[in-house]
Chain A
Amino acid sequence: MIRTLFCTTAMVLALAGCSGSDSDLDQTGANPDLPGQDETLVPPMKIATPTGWNGETPVVPDGFAVTAMATDLKIPRQILVLPNGDILVAEGSGGHAPKLRPKDFIAGVIKAKGKTSVKGGDRITLLRDANGDGQPEVRSTFIDNLDAPYGMAFVDGALYVAEQGALLRFPYQDGQTRITAPRQELTELPSAINHHWTKSLTASADGLTLYVGIGSNSNVGERGMAVEENRAVIWAIDRETGAHRTFVTGIRNPTALAIEPNTSALWAVVNERDELGPQLVPDYLTSVQEGAFYGWPYSYWGQNTDPRVHPQKPDLVQTAIKPDYALGSHVAALGLSFARDGGFGGRFSQGAFIGEHGSWNRQDLAGYKVVWVPFAGGRPAGPPVDFLTGFIKDGEARGRPVGVTFDPQRRILLVADDLSNTVWRIAPRP
Chain B
Amino acid sequence: MKEFTYTITDPEGIHARPAGELVKVAKEFSCKITLTKDGKSGDCKKIFGIMGLAVKSGNEIVINFDGEDEDAAYDKISAFMKENL
The finding on whether chains A and B are genuine partners in a shared complex, rather than unrelated, reads: no
- Tell me the A residues contacting B by CB distance below 8 Å: none
